[in-house]
A and B are shown apart, each in its own frame.
Chain A
Amino acid sequence: MSDDIGNLISQCALNNRAAFTKLYSLTSAKLFGVVLRILNNRAEAEDALQEIYVKIWNNADKFAVNQYSPMSWLVVVARNHAIDVIRARKPIAVDIDDAFDVSDDSKTPEQEAINTSEGKRIDNCLQELDEQKAQAVRGAYVEGYSYEELAERFSVPINTMRTWLRRSLISLKECLEQ
């Protein structure tokens, strides 16, 4: 699957439209899930997905020289775009609901891992952090929470939140590089 996606991206760099349609059909549901989770708005997520696949087509020639696995590259392109969109919009009233319930790690069998070679080191290293700090990191990455939103969720001042998170990132780096 990963090789297929890599080949399809390379074919897009050669202007192969059929490959692009195939790539879209194999990957768009995952990327839509990722951007929908961050933007939390269907219309915005659909617009974002459109922009993301335009970027994928236009930058397919750069894929060969980057350091990611094929699916990771697509997720990074998608996430970067979604975060750009959400950071550019005004801070919204935070909807305190169950959206932060990320401690549930249960996975359905259909969910494939992005790339096993990149492994699940991040999960192991997050377990070494305090639970709340690990939740903050996951919430930032998966839900696209800003420092304001995290501060509100954890009821701490925003600067405290940033300090927390930076300390967590330093600990994570040490763990990940072991």
Chain B
Amino acid sequence: MSSQLTIDKKDEMLAAEYALGTLPHGERISLEKRIVAEAGLRNRVAWWNSQFVTLVDEVEPVEAPASVLRKVEERLFTSSSSNASIWSSLGFWRGLSIASLAGLIVVGGLYANNVIAPQQPASGNVFVAQMAGEDSDLRLVAYYDDDAKKLRLKRTAGEAAQNRDFELWIIAGSEDPVSMGVLPTDDIYEVDVPEELQAAMSSEAVLAITDEPEGGSPSGKPTGAVLAAGPVQQI
């Protein structure tokens, strides 16, 4: 374990000069590599930084032009690798809803009643959703009885990639997606809809499936591609 006790005087000086910013370019670059690798040196640089940092109290704030934030957000949030942008695109959901709505009542109703509905007739209002995606072969149907408060999901096509999981989300109106859990490998998934989401399970909602790391999104928000989605419809 390297510690600040073992750092020699020369390195102590380099750490101070690095934090101060006076090291010439070449020395700065080579020291940066060592800072990444050596905890003792890193600690000393951090110590010097925290000593010096209050010197910027004298620096007056200057408003940066609005274009800077716009460029930062473009870079961070609209690159092709970021699927997050899909989630905030109202146009995406609107297009999806219109495309899926036409066949929903017939197809969704059929699936719901013949494939995944429980044997007993529903006692409450019944909602269904048919989920499909443009770029994946994943297809699911969902069935929800608002008396039983259970959502049943049947996967009719598509499988999760190795070491990846499907995660189910509900998007109520313009709200952020809320996770309803990771789908098991079985074709049928049944989940008790928690009280706080029961009201969301309505014709205003969309159900969606994303591709996530094993065990589901680590952040509680969707991180992977939207593989399938569809609007909830009362039948």
| Residues of A participating in the B interface, judged by any CB pair closer than 8 Å | 14-15, 17, 20-21, 24, 28-30, 32-34, 36-38, 46, 49-50, 53-54, 57, 66-69, 72, 75-76, 79, 83-84, 87-88, 102, 105, 107-108, 111-115, 118-123, 137-138, 140-142, 144-147, 150, 162, 165-166, 169-170, 172-173, 176
- Interface size class on chain B is 35 or more
Q: Are B24 and A146 in contact (CB-based, < 8 A)?
A: yes
Tell which of B24, B59, B77 has the most Cβ of chain A within 10 Å: B59
* Contacting residues, chain A, for B46 (C-beta < 8 A): 66-68
User: Does chain A have a CB within 8 A of B1?
Assistant: no
- How far apart are the CA atoms of A123 and B61 in the complex, in Å? 20
- How far apart are the CA atoms of A164 and B8 in the complex, in Å? 20
User: Can you name 20 A-B residue pairings with CB atoms under 8 Å?
Assistant: A15-B84, A15-B223, A17-B84, A28-B69, A34-B56, A37-B59, A38-B21, A46-B65, A49-B64, A50-B68, A50-B75, A67-B50, A68-B49, A68-B53, A72-B53, A83-B28, A84-B28, A102-B58, A107-B57, A172-B51
Q: Are B22 and A30 in contact (CB-based, < 8 A)?
A: no
Q: Are B24 and A76 in contact (CB-based, < 8 A)?
A: no
* Contacting residues, chain A, for B53 (C-beta < 8 A): 68, 72, 75-76, 114-115, 118
Question: What are the interface flags for B71-110 relative to A under an 8 Å C-beta threshold, 1 for contact and 0 otherwise?
Answer: 1110111000000100000000000000000000000000
Query: Which A-chain residue is minimally distant from B53 (CB atoms)?
Result: A72
Assuming the contacts A28-B64, A140-B20, A169-B13, asked whether A105 and B72 have C-beta atoms less than 8 A apart, the reply is no
User: Does chain A have a CB within 8 A of B12?
Assistant: yes
Seed contacts A14-B221, A29-B62; 15 additional CB < 8 Å A-B pairs: A24-B72, A29-B64, A32-B68, A33-B62, A46-B64, A46-B65, A50-B71, A50-B75, A53-B72, A67-B47, A79-B56, A141-B55, A142-B58, A147-B24, A169-B13
User: Does chain A have a CB within 8 A of B33?
Assistant: no
